[in-house]
Structure 1
Amino acid sequence: MILAPVALNPDLDDEAVRVLARQFADGDQDGDGVAETEPVNVVVLVPSERAATAWTRHAHHIWRVGDLETGVKKLQAGHVGLVVLVNKYDGVNLPADACRLLVLDGIPRPLDSVERREAVALADSTVRLAREVQRIEQGMGRGVRDGEDYCAVLLLGAKLATAIHDARHLALFSPATQAQLKLSRDIASQIKGEGLNDVRQALRACLGRAPQWRERSRRALAEVRYAEHGTVRPEAVALREAFDLAATGRPQAAAERVQKAVNDLGDSDKPLRGWLREQKAAYLHLSDPVAAQQALVGALADNTFVLRSVHGAAPVQLKAAAVQSRAAAVFLAERYRDGISLRLGMQVLFEEVVWGDDERSDDAESAWQSLGEHLGFASSRPEKLYGTGPDNLWALSAAQQAVTELKTGCVTDTIAKKDMDQLGGSVRWLNDHNPEVEALPVMLHPSQISHAKAIAVPGMRVVTPALFEKLKEAVTGYAAALAAAPDRWTDEQVVREQLAHYKLTGDRFFTTYSEPVHTV
């Protein structure tokens, strides 16, 4: 059984799920404070130390890589309780009683700079989705090691919930997992919109080996058929063959091999096509630098996050939507097929902004851009697109644009001079490239206080973590109101009313969810 509580009811709290997990580890499956059943081993997979801290008060043990060999033996030998494994989604076998309830709390992040850059460039590509699905499936497979084994799985957070709700993700799971997800969705449909007690009862049916559940599970898996041979994505084959050609001194042939993969791909996946064109340019550069620069121009047309040509790209002026509510309704209609997807999609944006973690800064910038689009603002990332300008730019109206620098990774208690200077430079960048609009300087920072040596940018506003939480509550309410009935989010009038109610319009957004900078 695989359940994502927040997909069943977006109002369910992750902390409540953590409490439930500890109760199952203690044998208190009905949550009344009395252990009336055999306690079970609960294993929680988290992608980082930061994610592990949320489990500190609930876990019996938090184990890192160095603890695993001894720890896994303990789990396999008997009851240990609730155990958190940090950043270990594969290579751990937890059969039978070693793990009866498995919790995935997040997806592993790319580890090195090359992987992180690829993750940004291919964020909207099927390739990236497939890799995420593979990691999720690897994690879920820790608790079931053969056909007779059983384990219940809980997925925490909106991003994981989206993975088992969104059609693009679902198609990428293996046949067996798809069958289990389909069966779990049948169960989930019966408790959709209900509270955590209904999730608790579903888990008890699975772990208690209820005859009806066992029969349905066996029937679902009995019909699963795997392909006789595995498949490797065509572009992966092409890139390997191109590498081999370049390694033997044939860079032109390598570029032609990548171009064939580009031609075969067509328009089905533009982010991937742009990424492949960048690889082609890298091979061309070895023999024809001019042609390589021309290839990068084409790559940039498909994917704005690939390498830029040495000649650069002229910044394109950002134009405000004629009507904010109309732009928002069009964007939401194209993005979401149902209300649950809409609410999960909004929640994912806020999950991606992690304060105090500099490695997540790029995720925060991407989420802030997407938030603008969800609210009907024209939104872009000039620094990523052109190598200069602000982290983010929102067109609040025809006359005003928010020039935003995201410093969510900072841990200082004042805004440093270099960060203030950067914001000032970004304001000047907008004034140079679009002098007809007024620049509203904005910074996301853990502090609203300017350092003594820093000169505050005139008129600047600061979004602090406290105000960001206030914004999160407003956007969550906005999404819930739009999802209250089918297709409400496609109705321009409804969207206009909700944007106004939650003060998310261009004229009220930053006066509500930011504050003036304070100087010492």
Structure 2
Amino acid sequence: MVEHRRPVVFLCPTRQLVEQVVAEAKHLGIPASHYEGGTPYPTPDATAGREVIVCTYDKLFNARSTFNRDDVLLRPCALVLDDAHAGVEKIRENFSLVVTDSSLDALLKTLKPGCKDHHPGPWKGIENGDRSAHMEVPFWIWRSSLEDIRDVLDPVGQKRPGVFSWGHLRDHLRWCRCVITGAGAEIFFDIPPVHLVDAFHRAEHRLYMSATLSDDSTLVRELGCSVKAASSPIIPASDKGVGERMVLVPALVDPSLDRDWVMSWAQGLASSTSIVVLTSNEKLARDWKSVGAVVEMGDGVTDTVQQLRSGATRFVAFANRYDGVDLPDDACRVLVIDGVPRGQGMAEEYDGTIPGRPGGTLRRWAYRIEQGMGRAVRSHADFAVVVLAGPDLANFLAKGEVMGLVGEGTRAQLKLADELADMARTAVSEAPTDAFNDMAMKCLNRDAGWRGFYDSRVRGTSPATPQDTAERDIEVAHAEHVALIAALDRRPKAAAEAIARVVNELDLEPEQAGWLLQRKANYTDEFDPATALQIQAGAHSRNRRLCPPPTGVVVRPPEGTGQVPAGLVLAWYNGFENPNGAIAAVESMKSRLSFDASPEALEQALLEVSAVFGATGSRPEKEYSRGPDDLWVWQKVGWVIEAKNERQGELPKHDGAQLLSSMQWFSQHYPEYQGTPIVVSRSDQAAHDATFPKGTRVLNPAGLNELRDNLTRFVAELATQTWIAWTQGRVADLLAKHGLQHTQFKKNYTVQLRT
């Protein structure tokens, strides 16, 4: 700015951070001003390059940005992108349109002919308003309906909040994705085309700043950061200035220390200690009001933070505030992260079910956890207890792959959390509740032994070096970014070639290769639709959670692995960083292995739980648009499952026909297997006019509860030893002991259907 006397812009994710930056600039003697939302012009000094413009990402990237007004036309020579990873999420919002009003009916009507035939099960749930039902509109259906879709969406884009994104999407709908649920639809760019925003694209200098260096590929994919810059970040020599965090995971100490227990524990502590809770949505935040917390969800964040700093308030729950809230020293001594920090968008929820997505949902969740953990410790001398509450969060963090998604400092703290959980769990003289509380008090009371232990385990941990950065991820991200630009430039062949190059040249996991092949298929569809569907079939064969190709394109379901159940159990168990992660995983499943869960949630839980007892699970109806809701396959044996947990009375004719069709599908694709037809139902009585397959068994509430209890006991015993200590023979004996050998399932958990 001083050198060129041209405007420079400092971007922040939230208004609160903008105000902090302006205040800090004033303290340092740097001229700066807040370019607020709704303000047409920056100050004359800012325009002339005499003071720094500080604003939110929304201010720059929204489709109606004043940066692009003819009477403003502000083109900064340099940009500083603070909290760049959080900024990416803000940018995505400006390239996304949510439809929930009357226009949703018109959109569903437009898409119904193709989508209903393609995926009849989810589509039925969507039409019935089932919030858990979801599907992505396949690109070939989306492409064929573009003009009608544009007409439907245009009214949505003419009013708030759609007006701030529609201008980005309107002329480029062809390359948008669309996810539909029973609650609405989201149309969005998977990779936001930031090069279309002149104020960003034309800046000669860009400085990306982030405390999270574990996934710089995101900056390449989403923001067009150069490969060279992402591969050679400027990093501090150590994290010695970070401060002290005692990270505790109650569910790893004992399953009884669940979310409700954490809420009660925090309530008792709030009279003497400042406590802040971070939740992923407003509903979870409101739950904390019942235990005395002030719930902040709106524009009062700045005032509430000030009250925490002054001591006027000591117990606060924030909704979806994993960044932009600084709580140093006594403002927060106990920080609770309440559950997995899932986003509230339909697209993110849907993508969370798909493995292999580069820069995907798991990375976003890991990033938010890392950001959230940093809210309470802001200096070298600062300290806090960080409580990661709920079995779902414990399960998420126990996965080996998740540890690779956070920075070295956070990884060291999470590994220390495992050690602390082991210490608390093995404190035989104390109840789990007392052991947990005593552990937290060591930090809060500044116990010298704890401080020395922490220093030896965590302080001085080196941040990730450039060599640690996944070069492969950066290459993939660059190819995806280049491909999008080519597609928007009407060069779909070049886009397809860019994706094909990384798929062919890099050693990718099958699920990631499948995701990228789906991108290639979409680009190919623009100039060779027939070949595109063949590519999509290949994508789906590698990643079964992607869109299945239309009927007629050959798709073959997976064969049984041939591996014995005990071997599959050990493979599942080995996927956790520590044995307690397996316990947390089952605890997370148990709430969904219930007749009170939605059909979608129960079907997904039935898939996930199959790995625990050594079956190969799949969801054929969801993955192929044909077949049963769930399929469990052992060696030459299969359970063909239809979930009817929402059914209250006797099982009607339609359910029998559906199970008959599923058995025919199973016989066609698994001719050498013996299949057992299973219906998950409250009732074991078929209607008088219903015809079910011979030998149909019913998994009723009593049977499901018994299965759930046996799984809990099985995994609890499994977790008494590490993976390496178990043999397949001993695991097989353990399965039999707890009634989990496949030969025991029919008798232990099901009853004969009455006709």
CA–CA distance in 2 between the matches of 1:453 and 1:111?
44
Q: Residue 471 of structure 1 aligns with which residue?
A: 707
Q: How does 1:30-45 map to 2 (within 5 A)?
A: 39-45=272-278
Count matched residues. 499
Q: Residue 197 of structure 1 aligns with which residue?
A: 434
Q: Residue 251 of structure 1 aligns with which residue?
A: 492
CA–CA distance in 2 between the matches of 1:419 and 1:72?
55
CA–CA distance in 2 between the matches of 1:58 and 1:117?
32
CA–CA distance in 2 between the matches of 1:79 and 1:456?
68
Within the alignment, does 1:484 sit opposite 2:720 as a pair?
yes
Distance 1:213 1:453, change over 3 A: same
Question: What TM-score, normalized by structure 2, do the two folds share?
Answer: 0.58
Q: Residue 584 of structure 2 aligns with which residue?
A: 344
Q: How does 1:437-448 map to 2 (within 5 A)?
A: 439-444=675-680, 447-448=682-683
Match for 1:105: what amino acid?
A: D
CA–CA distance in 1 between the matches of 2:276 and 2:746?
42
Q: How does 1:110-509 map to 2 (within 5 A)?
A: 110-122=343-355, 127-185=360-418, 187-194=420-427, 195-214=432-451, 217=454, 220-225=458-463, 233-267=474-508, 269-310=509-550, 311-316=552-557, 319=560, 324=565, 326-329=566-569, 331-332=571-572, 335=575, 339-350=579-590, 353=593, 358=598, 364-395=602-633, 398=636, 401-406=638-643, 410=646, 413-414=648-649, 422-434=658-670, 439-444=675-680, 447-448=682-683, 455=690, 457=692, 460-463=696-699, 467-487=703-723, 490-509=726-745
Asked if the contact 1:329/1:376 (under 8 Å) is kept, the reply is yes
CA–CA distance in 1 between the matches of 2:308 and 2:510?
46
Q: Residue 102 of structure 1 aligns with which residue?
A: 335
CA–CA distance in 2 between the matches of 1:226 and 1:319?
40
CA–CA distance in 1 between the matches of 2:720 and 2:466?
45
Q: Residue 200 of structure 2 aligns with which residue?
A: none
Structure 1 residue 176: deviation in Å?
3.1
Percent identical: 28
CA–CA distance in 2 between the matches of 1:163 and 1:510?
32
Distance 1:205 1:316, change over 3 A: closer
Structure 1 residue 473: deviation in Å?
2.0
Asked if the contact 1:318/1:378 (under 8 Å) is kept, the reply is no
Structure 1 residue 475: deviation in Å?
0.6
CA–CA distance in 2 between the matches of 1:301 and 1:169?
25
Counterpart of 2:291 in 1: which secondary structure? Answer: coil
Q: Residue 325 of structure 2 aligns with which residue?
A: 92
Structure 1 residue 308: deviation in Å?
2.8
Structure 1 residue 227: deviation in Å?
5.5
Distance 1:487 1:216, change over 3 A: closer
Mean CA deviation greater in 121-130 or 84-93: 121-130
Match for 1:448: what amino acid?
A: S
CA–CA distance in 2 between the matches of 1:331 and 1:318?
18
Counterpart of 2:382 in 1: which secondary structure? Answer: coil
Structure 1 residue 390: deviation in Å?
0.9
For residues 20-78 of structure 1, give each alpha carbon's deviation from its aligned partner in whole angstroms, at most 9, with x where no partner exists.
2222113xxxxxxxxxxxx2232233335665686565343444446756644543443
Mean CA deviation greater in 4-13 or 100-109: 4-13
Distance 1:333 1:422, change over 3 A: same
Distance 1:112 1:421, change over 3 A: farther
Asked if the contact 2:564/2:635 (under 8 Å) is kept, the reply is no
Q: CA RMSD in A?
A: 3.9
Structure 1 residue 162: deviation in Å?
4.3
Structure 1 residue 199: deviation in Å?
1.9
Match for 1:290: what amino acid?
A: A
For residues 188-246 of structure 1, give each alpha carbon's deviation from its aligned partner in whole angstroms, at most 9, with x where no partner exists.
45434342322212211212233444455567445544659999833222212111111
Q: Residue 22 of structure 1 aligns with which residue?
A: 267
Match for 1:480: what amino acid?
A: A
Distance 1:297 1:429, change over 3 A: closer
Q: Which has the larger radius of gyration?
A: 2
Q: How does 1:11-90 map to 2 (within 5 A)?
A: 12-26=257-271, 39-48=272-281, 51=284, 57-65=290-298, 68=301, 71-78=304-311, 80-90=313-323
Structure 1 residue 285: deviation in Å?
1.1
CA–CA distance in 1 between the matches of 2:474 and 2:348?
18
Structure 1 residue 478: deviation in Å?
0.6
Distance 1:394 1:53, change over 3 A: farther
Structure 1 residue 275: deviation in Å?
0.4
For residues 387-437 of structure 1, give each alpha carbon's deviation from its aligned partner in whole angstroms, at most 9, with x where no partner exists.
211121123664x532213456x4x64478566654454234335555665
CA–CA distance in 2 between the matches of 1:370 and 1:4?
23
Counterpart of 2:270 in 1: which secondary structure? Answer: helix
CA–CA distance in 2 between the matches of 1:47 and 1:354?
24
CA–CA distance in 2 between the matches of 1:457 and 1:41?
60
Counterpart of 2:383 in 1: which secondary structure? Answer: coil
Q: Unpaired segments of 5 or more residues in structure 1?
A: 27-38
CA–CA distance in 1 between the matches of 2:408 and 2:563?
46
Q: Unpaired segments of 5 or more residues in structure 2?
A: 1-245
Asked if the contact 2:651/2:686 (under 8 Å) is kept, the reply is yes
